[in-house]
Structure 1
Amino acid sequence: MPQLNPSPWFFIMLITWFTFSFIIQPKLLTFVSTNPPSSKTPTTSSTSPWIWPWT
């Protein structure tokens, strides 16, 4: 069965992994986030319990 022969597929996987890790990923990480996190403190809303009419 040719699927069990790891020779060509392992090489393809390594080349793909190295390409992503050393070429594509650094280029993607250089982009500035369009929505940076703000320094505001989160506000908490007060909630009241639901009053069920049948209880």
Structure 2
Amino acid sequence: MPQLNPAPWFAILIFSWLIFLTFLPPKVLAHTFPNELTTQSTESPNTQAWNWPWS
């Protein structure tokens, strides 16, 4: 039974992982976000108390 001989299957496994690790990461890392991230300001917003007319 050829499934019990690990030599060709192990080589196929190693070569396939080498192909995946050499071609896929640059393609995945080349993607960019469509919107640039903006940092939030550290200033707190100016909040005022509400004037409730019924209280």
Q: What TM-score, normalized by structure 2, do the two folds share?
A: 0.52
Give the number of the structure whose alpha-carbon radius of gyration is greater. Answer: 2
C-alpha RMSD of the superposition? 2.2
**What is the aligned residue count?**
40
Displacement of 1:39 after TM fit? 5.5
Q: Tell me the distance in 2 between the aligned counterparts of 1:24 and 1:36.
A: 24
Moved over 6 A (4+): 35-38
Q: What corresponds to 2:23 in structure 1?
A: 23
- Opposite residue 16 of structure 2, the aligned amino acid is T
Q: What corresponds to 1:10 in structure 2?
A: 10
Q: How does 1:36-51 map to 2 (within 5 A)?
A: none
Which ranges in structure 1 are unaligned for 5 or more consecutive residues?
41-55
